[in-house]
Amino acid sequence: MVLPIYVVIALIFPILYGANILQKPPNINDYTSSALGELVSFTVLLVALLAGDSISQDFGRQGFFTLTQPVRRSEIMLARTFAAFIFSAVAMLAWIGMGLATGFAFYGAVVANWALILAISILFVGSAVSFVVLFSSLFKSPSISVVICVLVVWIVMPIITGVLDLVGIEPWFLLTYAGDVITYLTAASYPVHFISTPISEGSITITVNSYAPYVWEGALIMVAYFAASLTFAWLIYSRKELRDAS
Amino acid sequence: MTVEGNRRSNCIELDHVTKSYGQIQALGDLSFVIPVGGRYALLGPNGAGKSTTLKLLVGSLRPDSGDVRILGSHPESREAKAVVGYLPEDALPYRMLSVRENLEYIGALRGVEGLKDRVDYLLDELDLRQYERSNVGRLSRGNTQKLAIALALIHSPKVLLLDEPLNYLDIPTQEKVISMLDTLEGTHLVSTHIMSIANRLTDSVVMISKGAVLWEGTIEGLRKKGSPEEPIEKVVARMMTGAF
């Protein structure tokens, strides 16, 4: 059920452009940027729905049927993480594939960085799945872990980014910030790392800051999220007891 | 007999086990041994620590102190888990899977040989055939309990740990389950607070109260604690309330 909805969302912009309801962007870069504009947000949502209960489900009554089997907890966790990764990666690559294919159909070209976009996207999915699995290990209730995941990546992280932009601090520790690399790679020229724009109205001047992660920086944040999240999730999962499950 | 010899003849061992949930002590210095092939009831009033004891034996909980062993292995080890079949109280198998899928999934995890035949056998024995394609979320409480029993038995375990196994079952099904369990080999530990169930499923009793052993021995020995005409339930009730 989740995958068809995800595909429909991915097709909204190409369909609107194809049907001339929206005016097509002037070039392939702007078009691809538009087609992939919501990719990171919706992929994180997809991952949260798929993997948000991957660990928490074992600390309810169902856990007595999983954790009493002669299978190591590490094997269970890795199998579930890998399954969520494969499913999410296929969905995300399908979205990107549709963006690139429809771009080619409209403009006869694809963006120069398409291979790097695919590679970074796979890395992003891996880090997002690991991060969500970590959240799943913190909560007993599957529904609470899914909701908290969605709140964190859809509301808390963007708010933190906005606040830090205002005060001029780079949000280098946020996964969603790292994910912006994917959209920036669609541009004809990659945005500069930091822009500070003073805006004056009457006697009031405010400075609007904007950060764009370097590609290597985004990749590094994703790798760090992947490694740290899986490590902490494993430490929690391997030690947690089924205390209140019945 | 040597320590190693004891280990081989003992199936379940709890040695000075304590377990607390925050400020609440569930088990305080609990020790008992069940020999290989023994059929024991873990008897006690509500809150005595019966379910906690079983959870320690399947490795879902860890003791605060003391040692727990199943056939000489720690409960969390692969060796122990491979030989144990566990029926939790108020069991809830995978709700999103059908009855058959639950059995096939757990059977596959346990590497059961001839899995299809084994699943078919259990579906027929426990009258679950008509529900085999139904999702667990749609089953009645009784049928869910039957499935949970089937899941505990799917790998023909050497050690069977049952927590209130006859809960939610109608009388004909109770009789069927009792007959089925009678035919099974291995060591059985049945947690219950109902003496008649202990009487039907086992021949020995470990009686616990407030997390410690109150009395252990055969059901016959328990009967002899009262007068010949006194119902055994009365004897048990007196012992549990400390009126002896």
Q: Residue A246's pLDDT is what?
A: 44
**Mutating which of B109, B145, B153, B155 best tests the A interface, going by the most A Cβ atoms within 10 A?**
B109
The pLDDT of A125-146, averaged and rounded, is 90
Q: What is the pTM of this model?
A: 0.84
pLDDT at position B115, please? 97
Mean pLDDT score of chain A: 90
φ/ψ of residue B163, rounded to 5: -105, 110
> How high is the pLDDT of residue A58?
87
Model confidence band, residue A220 (pLDDT cutoffs 50, 70, 90): very high
- CB contacts of B90 in chain A (<8 Å) are 61, 246
pLDDT along chain B (244 residues), means of 10: 62 96 92 96 91 95 96 95 95 93 95 96 96 96 97 96 94 93 94 88 93 93 86 85 66
Taking CB atoms and an 8 Å cutoff, what residues of chain B touch A245?
60, 88
Indicate whether A2 pLDDT > 80.
no
Which of A54, A62, A68 is the best residue to mutate to test the B interface, defined by the most B CB atoms within 10 Å of its own CB?
A: A68
Residues A105-132: what's their mean pLDDT? 95
B81 vs chain A: nearest CA distance in angstroms? 5
What ipTM was assigned to the predicted interfaces of this complex?
0.86
Name all domains of chain B by residue range, CATH numbers in brackets.
3-240 (3.40.50.300)
Residues from chain B contacting residue A60 (CB–CB below 8 Å): 92
Q: Compute φ and ψ for B18, nearest 5 degrees.
A: -125, 150
Q: Which phi and psi angles does B191 have, rounded to 5°?
A: -90, 125
- Identify each DSSP E strand in chain A by its residue range: 194-201, 204-211
Query: Which residues of chain A make contact with B91, given a CB cutoff of 8 A?
Result: 61, 64-65
Q: What is the number of CB-based contacts under 8 A between chain A and chain B?
A: 57
A7 band by pLDDT with thresholds 50, 70 and 90: confident
> Do A242 and B60 count as a contact with CB atoms less than 8 A apart?
yes
The pLDDT of A134-155, averaged and rounded, is: 87
